[in-house]
Amino acid sequence: MGRCMRSDPASVRSPRGVRGHVYPRQTVIEILVVFNLVGRLRKAAAARGASEGWAALGPLLWFGGEVGGFFVAGAFGAEGLIAYLLAIAYAVAGRFLSIYIVDRVPRRTPT
């Protein structure tokens, strides 16, 4: 009956998600960056007269780069923060690559 209720400092600082699960702030920031990337790619593709489906390239290259970064980090024996930072660096490279590709989509001229 006399349970001691301790407050978890991580749960106080982090937003609560579905069913009270605590998500780290980095995850929330990453999701916002990916949503921003999709919006930017959609606008760039529409401005060139291409399908807005090109926006799907952003999340694919972002998460693909992140997974690739973790594999490279694991191959070099990196763990923890170093592995995470390398994965984020690869994800950012995927972001810039997706922007580069969508900006190079040929313009469609109305007929």
Q: Is the pLDDT of residue 13 over 90?
A: no
Signed CA dihedral, 9, 10, 15, 18: sign only? negative
Query: Per-residue pLDDT for 43 more than 90?
Result: yes
Q: Measure the CA–CA gap between 13 and 94, rounded to whole angstroms.
A: 30
Angle (nearest 5°) at CA 76 between 33 and 87: 5
Residues 45-77: pLDDT tens digits?
A: 999 999 989 999 999 999 999 999 999 999 999
47-51, 83-87, 90-94 — which one is most confidently predicted on average?
Answer: 90-94
Let me know: does 90 contact 74? Beta carbons within 8 Å. Answer: no
Report the distance separating Cα 43 and Cα 37, nearest Å: 10
Q: What per-residue confidence (pLDDT) applies to 109?
A: 74
Whether 39 has a pLDDT exceeding 90, the answer reads yes
pTM exceeds 0.75 for this model: no
Dihedral (C-alpha) 92, 15, 39, 95: value to the nearest 10 degrees? 10
Q: 22: which strand partners?
A: 16
